[in-house]
Amino acid sequence: MPKAIDILNYIDSFAPYSTACEWDNTGFSEGNINSEVKKIVFALDITSKVIDFAESENADLIVTHHPLIFRPVKSVRSDSILYKAVKSGIAHISVHTNFDIAKCGVNDALCAKLNLKIVDSVKTYDGAVIYKCTVKNECSLAEFANYVKEKLGGAVRYSDIDKKISVVAVCAGAGADYLTEAKNIMADALLTGDGGHHSFLDANEMGIALVCAGHFETENPSVDIMMKKIGEKFAVECIKAPQTSPIKTV
């Protein structure tokens, strides 16, 4: 029977933790790293509901994309998610920026979900990776945005610019800062999760479309990839927690 450390080491073999961004806090966060694992719950984020679900399933390990602890912790109150996670006794592993840039990782999962053909990849100024992809058939920006919405669900925001889309730069999650890199690889659009007002202004000035389809929506397909890889490697039960975006739109 595998232990939590065996799961961690296997993840390190295809998404090395040494490749994670310097500011990241990915890896093993709490619990007993030598605990035996029979059942694993997978999710994009570790939340109170995910912990409740894992407890109801008698899971031994939770594997998420986003870490539980991002910043230094000064106290652990009884009403905090960290206290609840530790009290549950369930071990937790996160696979964050190292999975963002890994082959078969977050961007690969998003491209597969959208049937985009990956033709190249480029590292950004801060070590992230964006993919250069082509669409099956050239289309208008509005048609592309609606296609993304249909495939991923949730609200899609896109630039107020007249643009035909055949080449797309892809960076799941928070990738709106990579407009210059997307422009440099001759992309017609940058597809990502989050983007603010000024990012859209910058995109319009640069003549490149920005398409923001939601942080949760662009990264959640990767949870299935992680669950499949671990399920094929170890004789453990793998379950995906029911989870939706924390953002609602009207």
> Rounded CA gap, 182 and 169, in Å?
6
Q: Which CATH class is domain 4-99?
A: alpha beta
- 139's enclosing H/E stretch is strand 129-140
Paired residues of 143 in beta bridges: none
Bridge partners, 123 (sequence order):
129
The pLDDT tens digits of the residues spanning 66-101 come to: 999 988 888 889 999 999 999 999 999 999 999 999
CA distances from 128 to 132, 181, 212 (A): 13, 11, 17
Segment holding 80, helix H or strand E: none
Span 106-218: which CATH code? 3.40.1390.30
If DSSP codes are grouped into helix, strand and coil, which group holds residue 24? coil
**Do the first three CATH levels of 4-99 and 106-218 match, i.e. the same topology?**
yes
Domain ranges of the chain: 4-99, 106-218
pTM (predicted TM-score):
0.94
How do residues 171-216 score in pLDDT, each as one tens digit? Answer: 999 999 999 999 999 999 999 999 999 999 999 999 999 999 999 9
| Measured CA angle at 132 (ends 128, 137), to 5 deg | 150
